[in-house]
Amino acid sequence: MIVPARNEISTIDACLDSIFAQEGVSLEVVVVDNGSTDGTSERLEARAAAEPRLSVLSNPVPSIPASLNAALGAARGKWLVRVDAHSTIPAGYVARAAARLSEGRWVGVGGRKTAVGRSPVGQAIATVLNSRLAVGGSVYHWGTAETVVDHIPFGAYPTALVRELGGWDETILNNEDFEFDQRLRSRGDLLFDPQLSIDWNVRERVGDLFRQYRRYGAGKPAVALRHPDGVRLRHLAPPALVAWLAAAAGISSRRPRLGAAAVAPYVAAVAAASAAIARQAPPGADRRVIPVALTAMQVAWGLGFWKGVAGVLRQAVTRPAQTADGGDTTE
């Protein structure tokens, strides 16, 4: 079990409790503290002193792929199962993941990533994240049938295979799990098994959700450049939306009615989708947040994507020209 952690003092105990409650498996747990400043480091050290199956490593530079690779280097088990520090898993999770991998048909397995909120706003955000109307083709958010997929969250993999592939790419600071899965697919199929389910604590404020999705979007162009066969229509919709809204804003400065007419279909779509999503919200959720969260996710991902495109282009322009023998032409 590998767990990257940074500033997770409010959730790390629940996460570890759920891991050590696993049934039917012998396991070790490697947590990599990623420069926490909120007491997570001290809490991990205290737990490690009382639990021989827990090892705590330190990676002070904030980098999820570097933390995952540090854990990979320390892992001794046959199977590698990732769990994030703000998640919990049911008691049979690891045993089922190991059983599916033991079939020899899959290079990786994963299941439902069920969003969980702890406040009225968080519950509304979680409802959005669990809806197909919001996340589209990302099967792991809402799927109920076993199927082969292009990506699994919090995957379980054969440890030796992960090492053969070189682990996670540390130059990909966001979307590192998707990028890894694209390389993994060259070796076989990824299985989505809905009987594997992980509860994932969401961001409890819309502003935090916006920053999270902007970060996701920013990492996508670099991954798409390396793995163009992994690009899906759902990945292009948010940047297209942002371009459309920007064009509408430009038109509005000269022809307000035309600009409003251009934006009206999106506003209507958000309203309709939000009304449908709200029907699935738990009683304590603040339903007023649903359209705001839905819009924040889409716009933030799109803005992040364009930022990522700019970064890729900037890197291409500044990269030293290469000579035929591999050396650069700069002096």
Which part of the chain has CATH 3.90.550.10? 1-90
Going by their DSSP bridges, the two strands 156-158 and 147-149 should be labelled as: unpaired
CB atoms within 10 A of CB 174: 21
The predicted pLDDT at position 62 comes to 84
Q: In sequence order, what are the residues at sequence separation of 6 or more whose Cβ sits closer than 8 angstroms to the Cβ of residue 34?
A: 4, 5, 6, 59, 60, 61, 62, 63, 64, 67
Residues paired with 114 in a beta bridge: 199
The predicted pLDDT at position 146 comes to 95
**What is the Cβ-side half-sphere exposure of residue 251, based on CA atoms within 13 angstroms?**
14
The predicted pLDDT at position 328 comes to 39
The predicted pLDDT at position 174 comes to 83
Q: What's this model's pTM, rounded to 2 decimal places?
A: 0.86
The predicted pLDDT at position 228 comes to 85
> What parts of the chain have a pLDDT lower than 70?
137, 319-331
- CATH for 1-90 is 3.90.550.10
* Token pair recorded at residue 331: 């002096």
The predicted pLDDT at position 327 comes to 39
3 SS3 class: strand
* Signed CA dihedral, 36, 114, 125, 143: sign only: positive
Over residues 29-73, the pLDDT tens digits come to: 999 999 899 999 999 999 999 999 999 999 988 899 999 999 999
Beta strands in the chain (DSSP E): 2-5, 29-33, 54-58, 79-81, 87-88, 106-116, 147-149, 156-158, 189-201
